[in-house]
Amino acid sequence: MSLILLLDMDDTLLDNDMDRFLPAYLSSLSKHLADQVPPERMLQSLLAGTKAMIQKQLPAQRLVDAFDEVFYPGIGQTKNQLLAQIEKFYAQAYPSLRSVTQVRPEAVEFVEWAFAQGYTLAVATNPLFPRTAIEQRLAWAGLPMTQYPFKIVSSYETFHFAKPNPAFLAEMIAQLEWPDQPVAMVGNSITEDIQPANVLGLPAFLLQTSASPHSLNSGSFDDLKNWIRTVEGRQTPLSATPEAMLAVLSSTPAALDSIASILEHDDWRLRPQVNEWSMGEIFCHLRDVDREVTLPRIERILAEDAPFITAEATDGWANERQYALEEPGDALNGFLHARTRLLLALQKLERADWSRPARHAIFGPTTLAELISFTITHDQDHIRQTGEIIRTLQKQ
């Protein structure tokens, strides 16, 4: 069995002390925009926009949109007014920040070793920067994307959650289409890398390059290689805690938004085969299941003592309700709104509420938590289905 490694970047793959990098970055950007925005106002708005991304808890909006709606009003400019100048900053001024960072030869050697083992590697950096800024830092690390086939590189254009929210890691795994292989996290921060992975039940390794190991699951890149041998063949199920389930439920509409964006919206209507669903039909299905099955079940379980839950035959709705005629973008937004309602309802629960009993027509005695776990499995199946649709359509 192969392995998927989620690798942090700063102070993991690249020697980049944020206590030095961020002041240099902020100073450079302030200077570059000084003719348009007073530096102090720019700094305050940039920090406020970054805070909005870090604190984001619901799947609506990509991180870039959450940032933009705080940053640009804060500086009194529109995005269109500054876009060309900001792009010029990342093309001409940002590269000078390379001098604040340093290559880690041992990181490059590890990445090459990991690819040689047949592992899948994804860069799970905190997605608080645009894609170009992250690609440049990978190049500074000696790991340019043109040479190293990272499966996913997180950035604020394609992610909806940031560290330390466990939903960030859930979103990354969902964008990988919930693979069968074991997944492990590697990073240098206990709070941003290790603890969120622990919430999801993922094995995690704390990279420490200059200090004594923090635990058996920490140490140097050489220690990391030895540790990987202990986890590569071991499938680790996701945690069934409320925190983990909320993170995974949050990740579904977020990941579908990013996965589906590979195709044009018009292609969301296309069926890969005559008798198979299109992506738009999947969005409709997920929306209606949340609205008409999952949410009402939760309301009944909370309101009644061990209610009887009927089994719903929802697959036939696609034809009965003519999902193929619906606007796919509206359906995806409808699913997002329904899932947000579900998340808000679950976030209000006391821990004991997750154990409230019910009787299911097929599964027999069950609990609210177990029914939510069925929703998660259902989500994962349709995310995989969406990935298959995209690959089939791209071959046609």
Domain range summary for the chain, segments of one domain joined by +:
4-14+102-231, 17-99, 242-395
Q: Is the pLDDT of residue 149 over 70?
A: yes
What pLDDT does 357 receive?
Answer: 96
Neighbours of 59 (CB within 10 A): 24
**Dist. CA 365–CA 296, nearest whole Å:** 18
Contact 369, 302 (CB under 8 A): no
pLDDT in tens, 175-217: 999 998 899 999 999 999 999 999 999 999 999 866 656 666 8
Assigned CATH class of 242-395:
mainly alpha
Residues 6+ apart with CB under 8 A from 325: none
Residues contacting residue 54 through CB under 8 Å, at least 6 positions apart: 128, 162, 163
Of 218 and 142, more confident:
142
Q: What are the pLDDT digits (tens) for 309-360?
A: 998 889 999 999 999 999 999 999 999 999 999 999 999 999 999 999 999 9
Q: Which residues of 149-175 are buried (b: 16+ CB within 10 A; e: fewer)?
A: ebebbbbbbbbbbbbbbbbbbbbbbbb
CATH superfamily, region 4-14+102-231: HAD superfamily/HAD-like (3.40.50.1000)
Q: Name which of 101-105, 126-130, 172-176, 228-232 the model is least confident about.
A: 228-232
Q: Which among 173, 140, 168 has a CA at the least distance from the CA of 155?
A: 168
**pLDDT score of 210:** 65
Give the model's confidence band at 236: pLDDT under 50 very low, under 70 low, under 90 confident, else very high.
Answer: confident
